[in-house]
Homo-oligomer: A and B are copies of this chain.
Amino acid sequence: MDLTFEYLKKKLKTKNISLSYQRLKVLEYLTQNRCHPTVEQIFTELQKDIPTLSKTTVYNTLRILAEAGLVKVIIIEDKETRYDIDTEDHGHFKCECCGTIFDFPIDIDSLIPEDLSKFKINDKNVYFKGLCPECLSNKNEFK
C-alpha cells in the first residue's frame, strides 16, 4: 500500500478535507516518522517549524485524519494515545523498558473464531508488551 505524502494529500482532497499548512505538516510528520508518535511528540517537533502551533490544532487534525480513515489510533497505555499512518492490519509490540513500539505482521483474520460470525467487526487490534532484543541483552550485560 502506497503511503507517500503525495498519495495521502490526494486522498484527503477526495474526502473534501482542506489542507492547511498545519494539517499538511502533521501528515508529513506521520509519513516521515513511523514511530507511532503521541500528540506530545508531534506537537513538540512541529512547533520548531510552526512556533504559533497549538496542541488543539494537532488534536483536531488527528481526529479528522482518524475519522477519514487515514490514520489509526493506537491505545496501548492509558494517557498515551498514539497515531499510526499505516492503517493496514498489523500488530504492535511495546518494549516495557525502552518504550519503543515495534510493528510486526500478523494474520488477524485467520484467528477470528466462529463465535464472532454474527458480529460486525470494524476495528482489529493486537498488541504485546515485553522486552525488545536490545533491552534483553542490556539486562544480561549487567548481571
A residues contacting B by CB (< 8 A) are 75-79, 81, 91, 93, 96, 102, 104-108, 110-111, 113, 115-116, 118-133, 136
User: Distance in Å from the Cβ of A31 to the closest Cβ of chain B?
Assistant: 23
If A106-B113, A113-B105, A116-B128 touch, whether A96 touches B77 (CB-CB below 8 Å) is no
Given contacts A93-B116, A93-B119, A126-B126, 19 further A-B contacts (CB under 8 A): A75-B76, A78-B78, A104-B113, A104-B116, A105-B115, A111-B111, A118-B136, A119-B132, A119-B133, A119-B136, A120-B136, A121-B128, A122-B128, A122-B129, A122-B131, A123-B128, A124-B128, A125-B125, A125-B128
CB distance from A138 to the nearest CB of B (A): 12
Chain B min CB distance to A37 (Å): 16
A107 to B115, CA, bound (A): 13
Contacts of A119 in B (CB 8 A): 93, 102, 128, 130-133, 136
How long is the Cα–Cα vector from A124 to B93 in the complex, in angstroms? 9
The answer on a CB contact under 8 Å between A123 and B113 is no
Kindly state the separation between the CA atoms of A4 and B41 in the bound complex, as whole angstroms: 44
Instruction: Determine if B130 and A123 form an interchain contact, defined as CB atoms under 8 angstroms apart.
Output: yes
